[in-house]
Structure 1
């Protein structure tokens, strides 16, 4: 990881104004922002560690623990809530064997909720690896998970 991290950080040496892009790029490569990466980002950009952590913790897009290869997000916005998001979450928890907000032990799946994905007319909505599934039925979970294995 160290060598790849240094390759990513090299273009950002001394560029304190590029903090968010470097955080995004490191997370895209590693899947999350481990402590050693955060310290390396601070050192490379010249931004104090406290500021790097402050920015990273402010935005919900950044993660500090390893996440699953497959990420499932169940919308819990008003329309999705009314149309059964809670039942969809429960069904995913049963099928994946993890609680919402957690990652499976094999790091294959992360299950979480999101406030709104902006597709209210398609409620309930589930986003799996950036693919939107509208009018989602709990009975579709098996097929969605099977498709991930291909």
Structure 2
């Protein structure tokens, strides 16, 4: 688990870890566009972690991006520690596959996802069912955009 490892071209998973649900998004093979994939129930038994490993295998994922919910002041709170612990557990399960797990700042992703869903007319109970996936899309899309921008910056030098 680290920051921005050199990773091959391929699909990436975005993960939004919540206390009840885990939202998952998937990128296209070129790493340009993130789309919602699934919402998993988060449980102490680790069933959700096992399902994520299966999704990595099924979609031939080359990197997993876990959202790190930091405060607006840039500090870690209890939710950030939960995300770090989750990423560490996922890293351990993915070790035989050599698929890196990176943490990505997710400040305001749930707010942005909620606003986007509301703008599209998705409200109430329907919104609660997909908000975690939408937040995972925001986390992954931001990561993909940052990667592309930084790789363009190195090409220009």
Q: Which has the higher helix share?
A: 1
| TM-score bucket (shorter structure) | under 0.3
TM-score w.r.t. the length of structure 2 is 0.26
TM-score w.r.t. the length of structure 1 is 0.27
- Where relative contact order (Cα < 8 A, 6+ residues apart) is larger, the structure is 2
Q: Which has the higher strand share?
A: 2
